[in-house]
Amino acid sequence: MTIGILFVCTGNICRSPMAVGVLRSIVRRAGLEYVFDIDGAGIYDGHVGQPPSLLAVEAAARRGYDIRDLRSRPLMPEDIDRFANPLAMDRTHLVAMRSMAPQGLTDRPQMFLKFAPESLARDVVDPYGGTNEDYERALDLIEVGCAGLLKHLRQTLADTVRASSQVATLR
Across 78-100, average pLDDT: 97
What is the pLDDT, as a whole number, of residue 168?
53
The fold adopted by the segment(s) 3-170 is Rossmann fold (3.40.50)
> How many residues make up the chain in this entry?
171
Could you give the dihedral angle defined by the CA atoms of residues 84, 90, 92 and 93, in that order, rounded to the nearest 10 degrees?
-30
Across 85-93, average pLDDT: 98
Residues with a catalytic annotation lie at 9, 15, 126
Across 74-93, average pLDDT: 97
CA 21 to CA 24: how far, in whole Å?
5
| 3-class secondary-structure state, position 20 | helix
What is the pLDDT, as a whole number, of residue 167?
52
At 106-158, the pLDDT tens digits run 999 999 999 999 999 999 999 999 999 999 999 999 999 999 999 999 887 77
What is the pLDDT, as a whole number, of residue 65?
98
Residue 112 is given by DSSP the state G
Domain boundaries, the chain: 3-170
Q: Is the pLDDT of residue 51 over 80?
A: yes
What is the pLDDT, as a whole number, of residue 18?
98
Torsions phi, psi of 36, nearest 5? -115, 145
What is the pLDDT, as a whole number, of residue 157?
78
CA 46 to CA 54: how far, in whole Å?
17
What is the pLDDT, as a whole number, of residue 163?
62
What is the pLDDT, as a whole number, of residue 1?
73
